[in-house]
Amino acid sequence: MVTRAAAPDRTAMRWEERVMRAAHPLAYPMLASITRPVLRVPGLGTVVTDAALLRAVLMDTASFAKTGPGSPSELWTPVLGPRVLLNMEGADHLELRRRLAPLFTPAAVSAIVDRTLGEPYASLRERLESGERVELVAEARRCASSVISALVGLPASVVDDRLFRRIATVTGAVRLSRPRMTPAQVRHARGVMAELTGHAAAAWRRGDPETVPGRMRELGLDEQESLGAVGAFVLTGTETLVAYLPRLICLLADTGWLRRLSGDRGHVDAAIAEGLRVTTPSPVMLRSVAREARVGDVVVRPGERIVLATFLADRIAPGFDPIGNPAASLRQLWFGAGAHFCLGAPLAMAQIRGMLTAVLDAEAVRPLAVHSRRAARGVLIPGYRSVVLGGVSEAATA
C-alpha cells in the first residue's frame, strides 16, 4: 500500500532532475543554484524564485510587461506578428482575450476533447489492457495534434509528427541567455509557420466561429493576423502538453500512485496539480520592466529583464504529495496569474484528465509499468523523448 511520504521519492525526483538537465544543461543548474528570492544576474536579468513575489510581478502589468526589451514579444513578434496574445498588453490584449474566451470554457473544451479524442482514449485503454506496450510521447503528440487541429480549423493530418519535429527546431533555438532569435532563426521559424498558412487561411475565409481563425475574423482581424494566432496556438497548445503528460504518468508510476489512483479516484485532481507543481512544464516566464519598481529588495528600471523562475517558485515542498497537496496553495501558478493566466488551461486540463483516465482504467485491469524512457535533449520545454508504458508480467506481480 502507498502511504504518504515524508521525503520525496528518490526515483521520481532523480528522473525529474535528468529531464530538466537534458533540456537545459547550462541554464537549469545555474538557476537551480539560486537560493535568494530575488537576484540580479549580470547578462541575464533579475531572477525571481519566490512564489509570492513572482505572482506579484505577473499581476502588475503596468510595471512588468510581455512587450519590451527581453520580453516574449522580442522572441515571437518577428515570427508570428504583433497580435497573438502572448506578445500583447493593455486594452487590446484584454479585448482579444475576452472575445476568444468562449472557445475555452469548460463546456466548449469538453466537447472538443470528447469529439476528437473519445475514440483514441478508448483505444489507448484497450491496448494497455490487452498487454500492448504503448509509446506515450507519440500517443500524447497525436492526441494534442487532433485537438489543436480542430481548434484552429486545420485538417488533423496537417499537424503531424513531421511538423512537430519542425516546430521543435523553432522552440529549441530559444535560449535564456539570448533575448531574441537571430535573423537566420527568424527566417527558419517563419518557414515552419508558413506550412500552416494555406490551411489556416482557408479556416479564416470560412469564418467558422468555432475556430480561432473564424473568431478572429469576426473581431475584425485580418487574415495575416489570424495566421499568426494559429501559429501561436500550435506552438503553445501542443509542445507543453505533450511534454507534461508522459512526465505525469512516470511520476505516478515511480511513486506508486498509478496503482493507488486506479482503485480510488478521490485524489486524481490533487495528483494532476502536484504533477504540474513538480514538473512545471513552462519552467521560466519572462517580463520586461515598463516602469521603475521594486521586486523584493531589488529595484528594477525600465528596459530591464525579469526572469520568473516558476519551477523554483513551485518548489514549496519536497517530492510528490497528492494527500498533502501543497500545490493547492499556489493557485495554479504554473499557468500564470492575472490578465495573462493561460487562456488554454481548461483545454489542457480536459486532455490531461482524459488520457489519465484511460491509463488508470487500464491499470485497474492490468498493472502497468514504465518499461523504458529517455529524456529529450536540447528542447525548450523539458520532457521525455520516449516513454514506453505497458503491462507487468504475472511473475512480477506475484
pLDDT, greater one: 169 or 18: 18
In this prediction, what percent of the chain has a pLDDT beyond 90? 63
pLDDT tens column, 226-262: 878 788 888 777 889 999 999 999 999 999 999 999 9
What's the pLDDT at 398? 43
Collapsing DSSP to helix, strand or coil, 47 comes out as strand
d(CA 150, CA 212): 10
364-383 pLDDT per residue, tens: 999 999 999 999 998 899 99
pLDDT tens digits, 44-85: 999 999 999 999 999 999 999 999 999 999 988 998 888 888
176: which 3 cell numbers?
535564456
Angle between helices 136-152 and 345-365 (to 10 degrees): 140
- Calpha distance 137→123 (Å, rounded): 16
Name the most confidently modeled range: 79-83, 90-94, 340-344, 355-359: 355-359
Cα–Cα distance between 309 and 354 in angstroms, integer? 29
pLDDT of residue 6: 40
**What are the residue boundaries of the structural domains of the chain, listed by start?**
10-397
Average pLDDT value for the chain: 90
**Element containing residue 274 per DSSP (H, E):** helix 268-279
Residue 305 makes CB contacts below 8 A (sequence gap 6+) with 44, 45, 46, 69, 70, 71, 179, 286, 287, 288, 289
What pLDDT was estimated at residue 392? 86
Q: What is the average pLDDT across 315-340?
A: 95
Per-residue pLDDT band for 393 (boundaries 50, 70, 90) equals low
Please state, in angstroms and rounded to a whole number, the distance separating the CA atoms of residues 225 and 201: 10
Q: Within 10 Å of residue 266's Cβ, how many Cβ atoms? A: 10
Q: Is the pTM of the predicted complex or chain greater than 0.85? A: yes
C-alpha to C-alpha distance for 122 and 126, rounded to whole angstroms: 6
Contact 381, 281 (CB under 8 A): yes
* DSSP bridge pairs for 391: 368
- pLDDT number for residue 268: 98
Per-residue model confidence (pLDDT) at position 223 = 83
Protein fold of 10-397:
Cytochrome p450 (1.10.630)
Residue 227 has a pLDDT of: 79
| Residue 33 pLDDT | 96
- What is residue 220's predicted lDDT score, i.e. its pLDDT? 82
Query: Is a pLDDT exceeding 90 seen at residue 215?
Result: no
- Cα dist. 92→89, 232, 336 in Å? 7, 17, 19
pLDDT of residue 394: 55
Residues above pLDDT 70, as percent of the chain = 96
Contact 199, 154 (CB under 8 A): yes
Which residue has cell 483545454?
Answer: 347
Gap between the Cα atoms of 50 and 56, Å rounded: 10
